[in-house]
Amino acid sequence: MNKTLRILVVEDEVLVAFSLKVELTRAGYKVCGVAATADEAVSLALQHRPDVILMDIGLKGEKDGFDAAGAIYAVEFIPIVFVSGYLDDANRARAAQFNPLACLGKPATLMQIKNSFAALAK
C-alpha cells in the first residue's frame, strides 16, 4: 500500500463496527470515524473527508446507507464500499447508482475489503 487510506466506517452493530475498526487499523489503514446512523455518516464524511467509506446498508433510524450516500454525494464524491447482509437484486440496483467500489456481503473478510480498496491505494 503506497498511501495510508483514511476510512469512515458506517455500521450500526457496535461489535461489528469495533471489529472492523481494529482489523482495518491493524492492516495499516486510518479509521477517521465510526457512524451508526445515516446522519452521523454524512456529518463525519463531510467533516473528515475520508478517502473511502465502508457503508452498511441497514442503519439505525429511519434512513439507510443509500440515504447517507446520496446526501454525501450531493456535496462531494467520496468512494463507497457497501457491506450488507441484504444484498438482494433490489439493493444491488440501488447501490449501482452510486458507482461503488464494491458491494460485499456480510460477513466480509478483511481480504475482500482490502481488495475493494486496491484502486485507491495507488
Please, what CATH class does the domain formed by 6-121 belong to? alpha beta
The reported pLDDT for the residue numbered 87 is 84
Using CB atoms within 10 A of its CB, is residue 56 exposed (0-12), middle (13-18) or buried (19+)?
Answer: buried
The reported pLDDT for the residue numbered 64 is 96
Question: For 38-92, how does the pLDDT look when each residue is reduced to its tens digit (9 = 90+)?
Answer: 999 999 999 999 999 999 999 999 999 999 999 999 999 999 999 998 888 999 9
The amino acid occupying position 112 is Q
Q: Could you state, in order of their start, the residue ranges of all structural domains in the chain?
A: 6-121
Entry pTM: 0.93
User: Secondary structure of 10-55 in the HEC alphabet?
Assistant: ECCCHHHHHHHHHHHHHCCCEEEEEECEHHHHHHHHHHHCCCEEEE
